[in-house]
Amino acid sequence: MPFDPPPAAPPALSDKDRHRLETHLELIRQWNDAVGLVSERDSGLLWERHVLDSLAVVPHISKQGRHLDAGSGGGFPAIPVAVLRPSLEVTLVERSQRKSAFLRHAAFELDLPNVSVVCRDLRQFSPIRRFDTATARGIAPPVAAWRMLRPLLAESGRLLVHHAGDIPAEIEGGALIATRSAGRGRLSEIERRAKS
């Protein structure tokens, strides 16, 4: 199984990008009590536990194309991806109406015209066009997340999934490309393959 290629360097942040990411965190703090975006124990460690994990996926996502973030919650990794990939169409799918309202508000406040928010259960989401890449963080174990997201990916589309533990090298309809250390866990990249 491919494991631990040298980690890609996190992208350098301009002052504007850093300000937007810090504004995102401030919005989370303002909305968290009412909406439950992050756990209480994480509320003081948002940069370390959420932003840095999110930045780890950015080097593995094209600057253009279509990206899907599944179960977006508080916007990780989708909002940092959208900030650092302004030419990328980023679709956030979140089933909670309150969290979806937060995500729409955050996209507006951060001036992210490349973001669209869909309030729907992922299993009922059927886009017109498939996505080049997708991210999943905490929605399900990696293989289960793959099963949900594979039909939404274009041929050779890739899923980037944060997880702990191991996942198999061969997965139905896909193959594990790489697994890297990322923050408190691992970041695995799974590519969609044609059925043989």
Note whether residue 6 is domain-resident: no
Range of the domain at 123: 15-192
What is the chain's pLDDT, residue by residue, as a tens digit (196 residues)?
Answer: 444 444 555 678 999 999 999 999 999 999 998 898 876 666 566 766 778 889 989 999 999 999 999 999 999 999 999 999 999 999 999 999 999 999 999 999 999 999 999 999 999 999 999 999 999 988 888 999 999 999 999 999 999 998 888 888 888 899 898 888 776 678 899 999 876 4
Note whether residue 5 is domain-resident: no
How much is the pTM?
Answer: 0.90
How many independent structural domains does the chain possess?
1
Which CATH number does the domain housing residue 160 bear? 3.40.50.150
Note whether residue 1 is domain-resident: no
Note whether residue 30 is domain-resident: yes
d(CA 186, CA 166): 9
d(CA 148, CA 120): 14
d(CA 42, CA 73): 14
d(CA 111, CA 127): 24
